Amino acid sequence: MGYLAYETRSIEFEDRVLAHLQIVIVQKLRRREGFLMSWRDGNAIGDGRSSIWLSSDIPLFFKFSGGQAPSINAEWIATLSASANSSRGLVVSGESATQPAIGTTRHSD
């Protein structure tokens, strides 16, 4: 599991999910577009949903647990990008549209 660190939060995702999110997030922030990102929480933190507002004014840090970059699925990138450009914002989904991607949020002090 890798993670995305944003302000005082770390959100854990499988490395493959995180690699695809990194591409979509960087595309948006390069254009200085802020947007909402939402994901389904894992059972360990209540099995709900969480959201954050992403802005190019706040530094991001992507940490991958594996040493090898996963292959990139262009269709998944297109699906995530379309979501990020919608009024709902980026809703993190799994590679299959019917499969949610689970994130675990941790707060650091």
Query: Domain map of the chain by residue range?
Result: 2-107
Number of alpha carbons in the 13 Å side-chain half-sphere of residue 3: 13
pLDDT tens digits, 39-88: 988 777 677 899 999 999 999 999 999 889 899 999 999 999 999 999 99
Burial class from Cβ neighbours inside 10 Å (0-12, 13-18, 19+) for residue 94 reads: middle
CA distance 35 to 55: 7
pTM for this prediction? 0.87
Residue 103: the pLDDT is: 63
Q: What is the pLDDT of residue 109?
A: 44
